Amino acid sequence: MNTFDEPRARWVVGNWKQHLLRAQAETLAGTLVGQLPDELLDRDDTVHVGIAPTFVALDAVRPWTRPAGPLWLFAQNCAAQESGAFTGEVGPTMLKDAGANGAIIGHSERRSHFGEGDALIASKVRGALDAGLRVILCVGEPLEVRRAGNHEAHVLAQLTQALSHLKPEHINGRLIIAYEPVWAIGTGVAATPGDASTMHNRIRTWLTAHYGQSGADRSLLYGGSVKPGNAAELMAAGDIDGFLVGGASLDAASFLSIIQSAATE
Ligand code: PGA
């Protein structure tokens, strides 16, 4: 089976943010691989397990990541441009060269702390997909938008913008969408399973309307305060194909428990 193009493949990806020195990242990756149940390590994975360390730790964890190991390796960001006079940037082919299988793009921390707007995010998504990377595109509304009841319109507008540079053939197994309500990230307050599932359903309906079956087949991940205690009920709510996990992914036991929930629910 080609696991990349599998419809609605399950994913659990740990976003390690600006944490862990190289040796710590390597140890955590090795611990995860050592403790992942064998049935999850099959090449026809029940669930694809990914990690996203800092740029400088990408090569340190490489022995544990594809193709050498079972984990999928993601960068946390990716430049919109391939190369050139762009001090401080890392382009998609450079990420591949460092071992990355994909990149997280449009995380709300990039949008809010580093001023990344929809146009830039759209360029990054296009550049990364063109270079052959998988992309986890993050969308999600701030608290005031949810309180005003405009969350669906907000998220669909983000999607419209982010995918605006893509051709229909880009909407394939390499594009993953993560719904991450900003108010749930790092707060300990996750979306309710019902609210998360409703938004995922809305996103899937939108993707289907715009891209047909390849839109309907995208993996939709939920992110924002996912923990061992809420992962199973979020999965069970429907239309959720896995998780993008921040804080809880820094602890091997917590992350493994979330992975197990994503595999079995
Ligand atoms: P969190 O972060 O799990 O710590 O809320 C999620 C994310 O930022 O992707």
Predicted TM-score (pTM) of this structure:
0.96
Give the domain extent around 161. Answer: 10-264
Q: Is residue 158 part of a domain?
A: yes
* Inter-residue contact 162 to 203 (CB < 8 Å): no
Q: Is residue 137 part of a domain?
A: yes
Q: Is residue 231 part of a domain?
A: yes
Between CA 80 and CA 91 the distance in angstroms is 7
Choice from 225, 249, 250 to test ligand 1 binding pocket (greatest atom count within 8 A of CB): 225
Instruction: Tell me what pLDDT residue 78 has.
Output: 98
Q: Using the mean position of ligand 1's atoms as its centre, give its distance from the Cα of residue 225 in Å.
A: 6
Q: Is residue 4 part of a domain?
A: no
Query: What is the CATH number for 253?
Result: 3.20.20.70
Instruction: Tell me what pLDDT residue 105 has.
Output: 98
* Inter-residue contact 249 to 16 (CB < 8 Å): yes
CB count in 10 Å sphere of residue 69 = 17
Instruction: Tell me what pLDDT residue 45 has.
Output: 63
Q: Is residue 3 part of a domain?
A: no
Catalytic one of 26, 109, 141, 180:
180
Q: Is residue 5 part of a domain?
A: no
**Does residue 26 have an active-site annotation?**
no
> Between 252-264 and 22-35, two packed helices, what is the crossing angle to 10 degrees?
40
Q: 3-state secondary structure string, 203-231? A: HHHHHHHHHHHHHHCCCEEEECCCCCCCH
Q: Averaged in consecutive runs of 10 residues, what is the pLDDT profile of the chain (265 residues)?
A: 69 98 98 90 77 98 95 98 98 98 98 96 97 97 97 98 92 95 96 97 97 95 98 96 98 97 89
Alpha carbon nearest to ligand 1 atom 7, residue: 246
Q: How many domains does the chain have?
A: 1
Q: Is residue 2 part of a domain?
A: no
The answer, yes or no, to whether any atom of ligand 1 lies below 6 A from the CB of 106, is no
**Does residue 170 have an active-site annotation?**
no
Q: Using the mean position of ligand 1's atoms as its centre, give its distance from the Cα of residue 76 in Å.
A: 12
Instruction: Tell me what pLDDT residue 134 has.
Output: 97
Instruction: Tell me what pLDDT residue 40 has.
Output: 76
Query: Nearest-CA neighbor of 1 among 241, 173, 244?
Result: 173
Q: Is residue 156 part of a domain?
A: yes
